Amino acid sequence: MTVRTPTEPSREALALSRALTRRIRERIATMGGWIRFDRYMQSVLNEPGLGYYSAGSAKFGGAGDFITAPALGPFLARAIATQVDGMLGSLDAPVILEIGAGDGTLAAQLLDALDALDAVDAGDTDNTACAANKRRGAPVQYLILEPSADLRSRQRERLARFADRVTWLERLPERPVEGLILANEVVDALPVVRFVKRGDTVLPLGVRYGDDGFEFAEGGRDAELDAAVAALESALGGPLPDGYRSEICLLLGGWMHGLAASLARGALLLVDYGGVRREYYHPERSDGTLICHYRHRAHADPFYLPGLQDVSAWVDFSACADAARGAGFDVAGFTTQGLFLAESIAGAPDPVSLDARSASALKTLVLPGEMGERFRLLLLTRGIRPPGLPGRDLRGWL
Ligand SMILES: C[S@@+](CC[C@H](N)C(=O)[O-])C[C@H]1O[C@@H](n2cnc3c(N)ncnc32)[C@H](O)[C@@H]1O
């Protein structure tokens, strides 16, 4: 797919993109002329100093490439806070651990929302950290695991007023925590392996450097991919058709095990876009689910301006649920963002009054044709009585 540049990148941005292209070309040459797609995706997103998330482009909001739910207002944060407040209150030293916190907006909104709930519980309308202290032994501590140094520094600015409550981690906590682990639009950024079916054979669709730059090329058989697609086809109840191309995330199992080992008691909430297995691997979705964003245009070419655009793939929520169960989580809830928000707002004690801008933002979050249907919430718990999720219980879809 050819992408017309909506706005020319700056000279500095193009220089970064060229440097990243050189780095990946060298890597491809070292590997004999071809790399698997997950390796390419890892580099374009996370190559230190050059990748999309690690370099300094705007990324989020109007001046960036895409918006995530927190940019549309505190609706999601408030609904999550209401949902997990009771669970956090029942734990001795609860923390929230956010994975991939972007520019820190969701963290600020959640901390504000929890403080507001604490203030109400304390019979005190003054929304202060002091009010939070009245309800729990101490206000909830907020941990952030953010691989991007650029985003960590933006988060520090955004969260300056919560400086005594936010800690940045270099890696997952070695001593398991109690509380909530939250990842909004992070799983879609985990590198995926792209593949094609050739009769009964599965081949990785990797990347080589050709006359016109990076391009897809089939590689040789890959035992890890063979096993994963065989398991997928068995779960689907039949083989994928000849010529079918798609993606699969081979990192999910290890990722879930790492999170499970870091959580003694509590919940893991994943919010992301994607589908369940039969939606993801629908016979008509025969060219996969890659979605790239550059300056608010979505397209499917992962080779456009390496390092300057976001590259992501749908999340297979059935695979997430399976990986979570394998790691020792219970699957406590699965619903759409639209149903979750609609029911949370309908159940709020005070009627919500919105100005025109907020009402329009809420519509974007809730309406099925916007973010309401494609974005889903998967709630996974460990060692607690599952609190469930507002919204229709769609676990049967998984
Ligand atoms: C699309 S942004 C979402 C940011 C934020 N959660 C939000 O909703 O606005 C993806 C975030 O995940 C981070 N990220 C990407 N890969 C990650 C990984 N493997 N582990 C942890 N965070 C990751 C990025 O640096 C970025 O902060």
DSSP string, 86-116: HHHHTSSS-EEEEES-TTSHHHHHHHHHHHH
Q: For residue 120, report the distance from its CA to the centre of ligand 1, in Å.
A: 32
Strand pairing report for 193-198 and 201-210: antiparallel
Buried residues in 173-198 as b, exposed as e (16+ CB within 10 A): beeebbbbbbbbbbbbbbbbbbbbbe
Asked if residue 238 has pLDDT above 70, the reply is yes
Residue 146 CA, closest ligand 1 atom number: 22
- Ligand 1 centroid vs 308 CA: distance in angstroms? 16
Residue of the CA atom closest to atom 2 of ligand 1 = 102
Amino acid at residue number 287: D
The tokens for 386 are 């599952």
Indicate whether residue 309 lines ligand 1 (CB < 6 A).
no
Check if 184 has its Cβ closer than 6 Å to any atom of ligand 1.
yes
Outline where DSSP puts E strands in 117-248.
141-145, 166-169, 177-184, 193-198, 201-210, 213-218, 245-248
**Ligand 1 pocket check for 378: Cβ under 6 Å:** no
Distance CA 41, CA 35 (A): 10
CA of 33 to the centre of ligand 1 (A): 30
Q: What's the mean per-residue pLDDT of the chain?
A: 91
Tell me, in angstroms, the distance from the centre of ligand 1 to residue 248's CA.
19
Residue whose token pair is 């809830």: 333
- Say if ligand 1 is within 6 A of residue 162 CB: no
Query: What is the CATH architecture of 11-68+76-317?
Result: 3-Layer(aba) Sandwich (3.40)
Within 10 Å of residue 393's Cβ, how many Cβ atoms?
14
- The answer to whether the CB of 146 is under 6 A from ligand 1 is yes
Closest CA to 6 of 249, 299, 383: 299
**Cα–Cα distance for residue pair 217/209, rounded to 1 Å:** 9
Contact 288, 247 (CB under 8 A): yes
Residue-level pLDDT at 351? 64
Lowest mean pLDDT among 46-50, 134-138, 339-343: 134-138
The pLDDT tens digits of the residues spanning 5-43 come to: 557 889 999 999 999 999 999 999 999 999 999 999 999
Q: Are 208 and 215 in contact (CB under 8 A)?
A: yes
338 vs 374: CA distance, rounded Å: 9
Q: What is the pLDDT of residue 229?
A: 98
Of ligand 1's listed atoms, the one at least distance from the Cα of 69 is 8
pLDDT of the residue at 388: 80
- For ligand 1, mutation pick of 50, 186, 188, 256 (most atoms within 8 Å of CB): 186
SS3 assignment, position 66 = strand
**Both tokens of residue 392?**
């229709």
* Cβ of residue 102 lying under 6 Å from some atom of ligand 1: yes
Q: What is the pLDDT of residues 322-350, one digit of tens each?
A: 999 999 999 999 999 999 999 998 877 66
How far is the centre of ligand 1, averaged over its atoms, from the C-alpha of 126 (Å)? 33
What is the per-residue pLDDT for 355? 84
For residue 268, which of 231, 321, 312, 226 has the smallest C-alpha distance?
321
Question: What pLDDT is recorded for position 65?
Answer: 81
Q: How far is the CA of 221 from the centre of ligand 1 (A)?
A: 31
pLDDT tens-digit readout, 273-332: 999 999 999 999 999 999 999 998 999 999 999 999 999 999 999 999 999 999 999 999
The residue extents of the domains of the chain are: 11-68+76-317
- Cα gap 53→147, rounded to integer Å: 8
Q: How much distance in Å is there from the Cα of 356 to the middle of ligand 1? A: 30
Distance from the alpha carbon of residue 119 to the mean position of ligand 1, in angstroms: 30
Cβ 335 vs Cβ 387: under 8 Å: no
How many C-beta atoms lie closer than 10 Å to residue 271's C-beta?
A: 23
Which residue's CA is the nearest one to ligand 1's atom 24? 100
- Centroid of ligand 1 to alpha carbon of 279 (angstroms): 24
DSSP 261: H
Ligand 1 neighbourhood includes 99 CB (under 6 angstroms): yes
CA distances to 80, 371, 384, 392 from 389, in Å: 9, 18, 14, 8
Q: Ligand 1 pocket, 255 CB below 6 A?
A: no
